[in-house]
Structure 1
Amino acid sequence: MKYYGDLRSFITALDEMGDIMHVQREVDGDFEPSAITRRSYEIQSPAPLFHKVAGVAPGFRLFGAPAALSSRSDMPYARVAMSLGLAPESSGPEIIEALSAARFKPGIPPVRVESAQAECQQNILRGDAANLDRFPIPFAHDKDGGRYANTWGTLIVKNPDGKWVNWSIARVMKVDGKRMVGLIVPSQHIGQIWTQWVARGEPMPYALVQGPAPAISCVSGIPIPANADEADYIGTLAGEPVPVVKAISLDLDVPATAEIVIEGHVSIERDCQEGPYGEYGGYLGEGSSAQPTFHVETITHRDDPIWPMSITGRPTDESHTLWAMGLAADALTYLREAELPIKTTWIPEDSTVHWLLVVMPENWRELLPGVSSEELAQRIGEVLFKTDAMVFIPKVYVVDDDFDPTNLREVVWALSTRVHPVGRRAVFEDQRVIRLPQCYDEAEYVAGKGAKVVFDTLQTKRHLHASFAQGYPEEVRQRILDNWPE
């Protein structure tokens, strides 16, 4: 295992395993980088690195699909695993176990370095020079409300008393060279902190960090408990403290090895229109909403900086790999804390974060004596639907462990043959609903309430599969394997 302390060493490692596509010809500054990145997701190609973008200074680069499925079929989750310091061949459930286990370990706080040691401050831009127009920020989709200046960067904010520092990912749209507008959801951690600044009547200081160490981007995009510092959690995953440096114009620490850091303040009013944007559900966006303005005051960057981007849409992009794994790890943590004997949890990439599979071991009835599968489904829903992360997931399936939950073909087979048409489900009415999941109607979005469901697909008796693995004697299978492909 190896931890990559900056984006460049991570890209080099991917390149050495054949998972980088170098785009050397000049691409336009509008749609071409995003369209190439989107196609790379859909055909599972190497991650595109754009070396020449029209309209920006030579040396400024774009990097797409940083945590999508790998082009290496033998290690599909390599980009996510390597981002987190895990072996590239790690399976999805192994990554989820690592994310959950780190929640129970002491955090390793970041360590501050001097500005002279911080690559992110090799170039310092102030005043009029601190302008977004100098960077290669393309349109993500042709129906979007503008160029999205943040799709894979980390927003750093802290509450007014300085006791809670939050690192997170939220979409932020470029308005012009000196302004952005970002989606701030009140229930999310950045929204909770912004609300505290609004109550004081003061604009919220922020730093938008592009291209930090890959683990920082990944952890910024997954749920961890409120008032916990992502930097400490990243240190635990890495086994070493994150090097940070004081921002140039703000009382915030930022990752020292980042590619680009944008500093400024967020307005106390929702005074600018944001959106639409094509989101993880796989549909182009419609409509916009009033959101706070992010004013750009100072920018620092490395020489020849790299701007990473995630172009969300139909599977499979970072929303369906890293974010889904983070949500599954959050669910696994809470279910185990409730003393339920869960084997693993998994969100199939192709469900676009609309399904969660809760996998039970074969002996779960021995571990929960007297509990029926219907009662288990009810308890699982009672635990999960109280958590913040489950606001995104409307459907939970409680399944046996006799198939591979990461294999979509096996998932479709198991669910289609085990979900009862009308019964064996626990329905939870009037649960929190936000607009990002695609399955509710307009009245439910307006009310912020809707139903969620836990499907009980557990078998009373395990049935053998009509498969190569279970349908033939072991000696026959071994003889066939020894002589394959004759």
Structure 2
Amino acid sequence: MSLRVKTKSCLKACIRSYSSAEKRSTPVLSFRAFLKALEKQNDLTVIDTEVDPYLEVAAIARRCYELPSKAPLMNNPKGKDGNGLFRLFGCPNGLRKNREERYGRMATTLGLEANATPQEIANFLAKVPDLSPNPPEKVDETDSPVKQNKLFGDDIDFSKMPVPKLHDFDGGKYIMTYGIHVATTPDGKWTNWSIARAMVCGKNKMVGVVVLPQHIAQIHKMWADIGKDMPWAVFFGGPPAANTVAGMPLPAFVSEGDYVGALSGESVKVVKCETNDQYVPADSEIVFEGTISATEKADEGPMGEYHGYMFPSESHKFPLMTVNAITYRDDPIMPFSVAGKAPDESNHSWGILASAELLRVLRDEHKLPIKMVWSPWEAHTCWMVVQVDNEGLRNLHTTPEEFCTTVGRIIFASQAGIVAPKVIIVGEDIDITNIEEVVWALSTRRTPGISEFVFNDIPNFPLNPFMSHGAVEKPNWGHKAVYNALFPFEFEKPQNWAVSNFHGAYPKEVQEKVLSNWKKYGFTD
């Protein structure tokens, strides 16, 4: 049966406003306002036909990523109960087909124009860590849409909810792919908001990735060290900017909620949980609250991950999560992401966030002649491309080995550089947001055996498939590299070549003549 869809419809029944919260209804702070913005931008497809959460909803989302197509809002997933738990919204930060608005969804969540360029987004995000923190503001339950409905104890049953099965060989149903964990240290001084996957493993039980050096794992260890389960919450459909900030490589003991407020210019309104002392955004769609066990563990995985592979035999023991209460607004929406072969949020969104932080570290903190840093989504966060300022590079009076080693040490030692094992350094003539130009530079300017600088004395990221399933002795150690895609003379003198293409090989008047006569020649593109 074909899906019945609406792409230009009144979303009155789908995206309801909440009058007391209208003052904070912007796409940066309000999930519902974000959906309205997508509709206005012609980037939302509303599906009213019943869809099956067992693989079908995920397959719809994956096809939307890969075309790419509009973000799907699924109003009628099979199993959605009378209390409204829950509708499903896929591809929340997916790419757009229109190249001029390729990163329009992320730009909208940041308060930027939908046609913001990658450079504009990266430079905007690079400034966020230097903003003055703007802590969340506590509000009353009466001003909190997420308190409109409540479930406790035996009334919580994940088997009766349309929890999606994302990939055919996944070890379970992953309910947590685009929500945000909330955890606070025992002394109350640090509250961490973070994103990490979790799957259902019982009536009110979940198990998710909680492993060092994650910040949530650091806090979990603090609670375990004093012999207590960790009070915990997860919010779904909170401030859209929170999903960006929660994925930023901020340092430990920095509270992400403070920087959502700093980024948006307004404090996030938060409300206290029902069963513990965590605070969650008052406008959230859904909140789970409970504990993460200090001692009990369960099998998690396997799951199709962001590198585009899934190895079916893989599962690991991680701490058990118990959900003691669920609060949610009327007719709530559960956002979800389906990781896999690019593009999806787990590669291009994280790539942008890591790029912005490394741009800040290299350019602003270490004062190196760097114009831009970019992680091409096509490389699944395995590449970090660094664009140098050629004049600044020459003024350093350095050598390729010295410069590449310096850049590599800085990137690989940073939190943002943990997952990126390969750094490519190019000149300012290369548009590093264009994968074709990066491949051209890498293929034609890098000399094998001379332009490669390998780092075997530093940690690597074991989720990288070539580490976990490659010919290496330790899956978490060594085998990172910097590839110099600069000609040796670029360290001493300006570039001395012309590019042999339409824009480089012909005078401007010839280009203009060809363009103005293009349709007369008979071309339609």
TM-score normalised by structure 2 residue count = 0.89
Distance 2:399 2:57 in 1: 52
AA paired with 2:157? N
1:84-109 superposed Cα distances (whole Å, 9 cap, x missing partner): 21111111121111111111121111
Distance 2:77 2:355 in 1: 37
When residues 41 and 226 of structure 1 are mapped into structure 2, their CA distance, relative to the original with a 3 A threshold, is: same
* 1:366 to partner: Cα distance: 4.0
Distance 1:235 1:387 in 2: 25
AA paired with 2:392? W
Kept after mapping to 2: 8 A contact 1:110/1:235: yes
Distance 2:368 2:249 in 1: 21
Distance 1:145 1:305 in 2: 26
Distance 1:24 1:276 in 2: 31
**Runs of 5+ consecutive residues of structure 1 not aligned to the other structure:** none
Please show how residues 395-414 of structure 1 align to structure 2 within 5 Å: 395-414=422-441
Kept after mapping to 2: 8 A contact 1:328/1:345: yes
Question: Equivalent of 1:310, from 337, 352, 363?
Answer: 337
AA paired with 1:204? M
* 1:434 to partner: Cα distance: 3.1
Q: Does 1:452 align with 2:492?
A: no
Q: Secondary structure at the match of 2:413?
A: coil
Distance 1:333 1:74 in 2: 25
Equivalent position of 2:523 in the other structure: none
Question: Equivalent of 1:226, from 235, 252, 261?
Answer: 252
Question: Equivalent of 2:239, from 187, 210, 213?
Answer: 213
Please show how residues 92-241 of structure 1 align to structure 2 within 5 Å: 92-241=118-267
Distance 1:95 1:445 in 2: 39
* 1:3 to partner: Cα distance: 4.3
Q: Secondary structure at the match of 1:13?
A: helix
Question: Equivalent of 2:502, from 443, 468, 478?
Answer: 468
Q: Secondary structure at the match of 2:251?
A: coil
* 1:314 to partner: Cα distance: 0.3
1:32-89 superposed Cα distances (whole Å, 9 cap, x missing partner): 0001101111110111111111112255310000001023332000011111211111
1:342-394 superposed Cα distances (whole Å, 9 cap, x missing partner): 101000010001000011022123442x2123211110011111112322111
Q: CA RMSD in A?
A: 1.6
Overall identity of the aligned pairs, in %: 39
Q: Secondary structure at the match of 1:176?
A: coil
AA paired with 1:314? K
Distance 1:70 1:331 in 2: 25
Distance 2:245 2:333 in 1: 20
Kept after mapping to 2: 8 A contact 1:266/1:294: yes
Q: Secondary structure at the match of 1:430?
A: coil
Question: Equivalent of 1:350, from 370, 375, 378?
Answer: 378
AA paired with 2:137? V
When residues 270 and 98 of structure 1 are mapped into structure 2, their CA distance, relative to the original with a 3 A threshold, is: farther
Q: Secondary structure at the match of 2:466?
A: coil
Q: Secondary structure at the match of 2:88?
A: strand
* 1:270 to partner: Cα distance: 5.2
Question: Equivalent of 1:374, from 401, 406, 413?
Answer: 401
Distance 1:367 1:310 in 2: 45
* 1:15 to partner: Cα distance: 1.3
Distance 2:157 2:110 in 1: 32
Distance 1:321 1:242 in 2: 26
1:305-341 superposed Cα distances (whole Å, 9 cap, x missing partner): 0000000000100012211111111211221211212
Equivalent position of 1:39 in the other structure: 63
Kept after mapping to 2: 8 A contact 1:22/1:50: yes
AA paired with 2:333? I
**Runs of 5+ consecutive residues of structure 2 not aligned to the other structure:** 1-25, 521-525
Kept after mapping to 1: 8 A contact 2:418/2:461: yes
Q: Secondary structure at the match of 1:261?
A: strand
Equivalent position of 1:325 in the other structure: 352
Distance 1:31 1:142 in 2: 7
Distance 1:351 1:201 in 2: 42
Kept after mapping to 2: 8 A contact 1:341/1:367: no
AA paired with 1:344? M
Equivalent position of 1:384 in the other structure: 411
Equivalent position of 1:437 in the other structure: 464
| Stretch of structure 1 that moved more, 335-344 or 352-361 | 335-344
1:129-160 superposed Cα distances (whole Å, 9 cap, x missing partner): 23333432111101111000100000000111
When residues 444 and 250 of structure 1 are mapped into structure 2, their CA distance, relative to the original with a 3 A threshold, is: farther
Q: Secondary structure at the match of 2:378?
A: helix
Equivalent position of 1:54 in the other structure: 78
* 1:447 to partner: Cα distance: 5.5
Q: Does 1:76 align with 2:102?
A: yes
* 1:435 to partner: Cα distance: 2.3
Equivalent position of 1:9 in the other structure: 33
When residues 468 and 440 of structure 1 are mapped into structure 2, their CA distance, relative to the original with a 3 A threshold, is: same
Distance 1:367 1:227 in 2: 38
When residues 164 and 65 of structure 1 are mapped into structure 2, their CA distance, relative to the original with a 3 A threshold, is: same
Equivalent position of 1:23 in the other structure: 47
AA paired with 2:149? N
1:199-244 superposed Cα distances (whole Å, 9 cap, x missing partner): 1110001111111111111221221111111111111211111111
Distance 2:316 2:346 in 1: 22
| Stretch of structure 1 that moved more, 333-342 or 25-34 | 333-342
Equivalent position of 2:391 in the other structure: 363
How many residues are matched? 484
